[in-house]
Amino acid sequence: MPDIIQLLPDSIANQIAAGEVVQRPASAVKELMENSIDAGAKQIRLIVKEAGKTLIQVIDDGAGMSETDARMSLERHATSKIRKAEDLFQLRTMGFRGEALASIAAVSQFEMKTRLAEKELGTLLVVEGSEVKRQEPAACEKGTSISVKNLFFNIPARRNFLKSNAVEMRHIIDEFFRLALANPGLALSLAQGDEMVYDLAPAKLSQRIVALFGKGYQQQLAPSQEETSLLKISGYVGRPELAKKTRGEQFFFVNNRYIKNNYLHHAVTSAYEGLLPENSFPFYVLMLELDPKHLDVNVHPTKTEIKFDDERAVYAVVWSAVKQALGAHNLAPAIDFHADVNLTNKLSSHSLTNEQYFEEQFSTSLHRSNLKNWEKMFDNESNSRLFSQPAKQTEVIFESTINKPIEARTTVLQEDGIFQFQQKYVVRAGRHGLMIIDQQAAHERILFEKYLLQLRSKPGNSQQSLFPQTVVLTAADFALVMEMEKEIVALGFRFEVFGKNTLLVSGLPADVKMGEKELFEGLVEQFKKSQAELELPLQEGLARAMAKRTGLRSGQKLTVEEMEALAQSLMACNIPNFSPEGNPTFFTLNTSKIESYFNR
């Protein structure tokens, strides 16, 4: 039998390594900027085009490289950080695996210009798919400039897996944020094409946080300090009311390296015990410094996961640092933590009457089904038939009372009865039993189907704002909104770009009585929360977020007319049984079941 095991060619081996190191443009950004930091750069400029798919350029004023070092940096397993195995446990630098540049050059059109400070000429290297095309002396600035063009040009299948420009740009911004927070003393800039996204001057950590996240954080941060024989902790934690329903503003750095660690995250949230709303995440930027011999950073290709030799001790110190910060600065909660992420939509403040509100809100679905005969809901046979198969268009299930004269409506109410229980449930009484409706779940189902219809085929109407408001977003949220611009407009919003990461909101969906800023910011936050819990198609996720944001809340008092409209509109839905989150919207309690409790 002939031998079948062979050594892979370098070009293929590099592409395989690239699969671990370079998963998307943001991966290349991380590796290149980390190399610049290790080179002692004081100023680093990042330029991207088409979210890094066309160009990623990192320019620094660091030490630069000699001609030989420049060439060697493109070889696999070549690094300036390690000479012996023991060095792995004394690392204080960022890039040490010796894979990054070789992997990036294997899947791109790669160009490097680098010059040592004491030299008059630098070196130009041009590589395409691991093949060195040119290496020659060149005039250039001190430091290193690396351009990565047409990432994955020679691996179309990998390129096809990249997401939209907005999504990829969000990942790049995430990496930029992490490096900017870890190195507040460096001057960093990020430009997308000709647009400057961030231009950060050297600053203290608190100033860097405000520069990245906005002035709203200026008065909301508490310094956290703790020092033991094992480790030193410094950084900032946010007030409980800063906590959000989505992750993304939690940062751990160990020896200036960003890490992910659920165990330490639990230590932080435990310190907030009793101060946070359920399923929310506090803001924190915590720097941990400890001897490298107590940790192993070489456990994951991206180096974001590390191991401590004594995790329990680190956990205890983190918990203590956060607890002391919260206590020392009296960061007590200032909001109702039982409230949902949504703002309460007070119907009583509407200029329309409550009856008109529901009538206009759900007129489309009411016309779709001639609702009548509530009594059939309590008939087991017709109840199961209603939800097990689509009803025929000629079959009349319910009769709407909204369009009846007041005299007729009063008669029906007296005969059947409808009332609100604990301001959470709508109870409809009939001759055959009770229907109990969860008002929040039911309204969310109604709105979800309404907004989904608008997104798919019938864009919603918009009401012009008398006083348009500006909404300032983070760069990542701004990119998200731009990605969903067409869908957000279909919901009835009207807005335009009004400066860097700023929108001017001039119109809201008709019949939604909420401030422009509160509704728009809330929709983005709710959408991110929904997508974090369950990755849904864009239209479905946006409709779900909008329904959650504008729906009725438990604890909201309803009039008889509102209860009637809610119940009837629910029954006009395609799937009335469940809320968009899958929770039941109602159940029926038949008379026979009630009588069984009285031994009848």
Instruction: Tell me the pTM.
Output: 0.68
Return the pLDDT at 111. 95
Dihedral angle of Cα 331, 336, 342, 347, to the nearest 10 degrees: -140
Contacts of 503 (CB under 8 A, 6+ apart): 470, 471, 473, 478, 481, 495, 496, 497, 520
Contacts of 235 (CB under 8 A, 6+ apart): 205, 223, 224, 253, 284, 285, 286, 287
Among residues 187, 180, 176, 240, the alpha carbon closest in space to that of 205 is found at: 180
Domains of the chain: 10-202 (3.30.565.10), 209-328 (3.30.230.10), 339-600 (3.30.1540.20)
- H or E element in which residue 591 lies: helix 591-596
- H or E element in which residue 224 lies: strand 221-227
Contacts of 196 (CB under 8 A, 6+ apart): 189, 190, 500
Per residue of the chain (600 residues), give pLDDT as tens: 677 777 766 666 666 655 567 889 999 999 999 999 989 999 999 999 999 999 999 999 999 999 988 988 888 655 555 444 454 455 555 544 456 888 899 899 999 999 999 999 999 999 998 888 999 999 999 999 999 999 999 888 888 888 888 888 888 999 999 999 999 999 999 999 888 889 999 999 999 999 998 888 888 889 999 999 889 999 999 988 878 877 888 999 999 989 988 899 999 999 998 888 777 889 999 999 998 888 776 555 556 778 888 889 999 999 999 999 988 776 544 433 333 434 333 333 333 444 444 544 444 444 444 444 454 555 544 444 344 333 333 333 344 444 444 444 333 334 457 888 888 899 988 777 888 999 999 999 999 999 999 998 888 888 888 888 888 888 888 888 988 899 999 999 999 988 888 899 998 898 888 888 888 888 888 888 777 777 778 889 899 999 988 888 888 888 888 898 998 899 899 999 999 888 899 988 888 888 888 876
Return the pLDDT at 387. 43
Q: Where are the beta strands (DSSP E) in 373-452?
A: 418-421, 425-430, 433-438
Contacts of 143 (CB under 8 A, 6+ apart): 39, 41, 59, 60, 61, 62, 63, 64, 114, 115
Beta strand 250-254 with 284-290 is: parallel
Gap between the Cα atoms of 221 and 173, Å rounded? 22
Can you read off the two tokens belonging to residue 455?
Answer: 């997104």
Question: Which residues make beta-bridge pairs with 207?
Answer: none
